[in-house]
Amino acid sequence: MSTAKEELPESGTVTVACKLPHGIIIRDRIESSVNENILGGGTRKVKVFRPTGPRIRIKGPTVPSVFIRHVEVVGGYAITEGVDAKIFKQFMKDNQDSPFVRNFLIYGDESRDKVLGWAKERAEIKSGVEALDVSLTVKEGRQVFKDERIARSGADQVTDGKLEAAVA
């Protein structure tokens, strides 16, 4: 599964699918050198990157109910159209080792249909910061929480509405 950073165009716009709950802001950046003070006196030149240009907001799927009609969500991914392709491609390249890129929480392509299909195929991917599902279900004759994150925390044994301490 590719993050499609190689496939992104150098110009124009792309459509982006993002599963980070509140989205993300990306910007272009410029490289420059500055003198940095060093311990014991003196300076050295270091490379720094400064943000430049407009802030580009990539939408996330968690929004207040009054704004929900302004956000298209497919497979748990919010869809943002018209993102500058050059800036997004550089963002993906700079963040290729980040968990949100490696775990397919953000993706972009110039084809809207390809992005929508990609998002539908990955609907089961969890970002890890979704709201907890605290409802109960019956499993092997016991009531347990539906959300596996609650079960992993040790609160997985509930019977007759009372929490039993998990003994390991």
Q: What is the pLDDT of residues 31-65, one digit of tens each?
A: 999 999 999 999 999 999 999 999 999 999 988 88
Domain ranges of the chain: 13-121, 132-168
Kindly state the average pLDDT of the residues 87-115. Answer: 94
Residue position matching structure tokens 């929004």: 63
Q: How confident is the model at residue 162 (pLDDT cuts 50, 70, 90)?
A: low
Q: What is the pLDDT of residues 127-157, one digit of tens each?
A: 888 778 888 888 888 888 888 777 777 665 5
Cα distances (angstroms) measured from residue 138 to each of 12, 132, 143, 145, 159: 52, 18, 4, 9, 10
- Closest by CA position to 49, among listed 28, 68, 70: 28
Strand-strand pairing, 158-159 and 77-84: unpaired
* pTM (global) more than 0.85: no
Query: In which element (H, E) is residue 119 found?
Result: helix 112-121
Confirm if 109 and 12 have CB atoms less than 8 A apart. Answer: no
